[in-house]
Amino acid sequence: MRAFVFPGQGSQKVGIGAELADASKAARDVFAEVDDALSQKLFDIMREGPEDQLTLTENAQPAIMANAIATLRVLETDFGVALADSAGAVAGHSLGEYTALCAAGAFDLATTARLLKLRGQAMQAAVPVGKGAMAALLGADIDKATALAEAAAEDEVCEIANDNDPSQVVLSGHKGAIERAVGLAKEHGIKRGVLLPVSAPFHCSLMQPAADRMAEALAGTPPSDFAVPLFANVTASKVTDPHEERQLLVEQVTGRVRWRESVVAMRADGIESFVELGGKVLGPMIGRIDKEAATSSLINMDQLEDFAREIA
- Taking the C-alpha atoms of residue 173 and residue 176, their distance in angstroms, rounded to an integer, is 8
Beta bridge partners of 296: 275
- Taking the C-alpha atoms of residue 78 and residue 30, their distance in angstroms, rounded to an integer, is 14
- Taking the C-alpha atoms of residue 253 and residue 99, their distance in angstroms, rounded to an integer, is 15
Nearest C-alpha neighbor of 218 from the set 255, 237, 254, 244: 244
For the chain, list the strands marked E by DSSP. Answer: 2-6, 89-92, 132-138, 158-165, 168-174, 192-195, 230-231, 238-239, 273-277, 294-298
- In the residue annotation, 94 being an active-site residue is answered as yes
* CA 116 from centre of chain: 11
Q: Please enumerate in sequence order all residues whose Cβ is within 8 A of that of 57, keeping only pairs 6 or more positions apart, or say none.
A: 9, 120, 121, 123, 124, 199, 200
Active-site option among 172, 174, 203, 297 = 203
- Taking the C-alpha atoms of residue 266 and residue 271, their distance in angstroms, rounded to an integer, is 5
- In the residue annotation, 174 being an active-site residue is answered as no
Active-site option among 11, 24, 94, 297 = 94
- Three-class DSSP category at 147: helix
Residues acting as catalytic residues: 94, 203
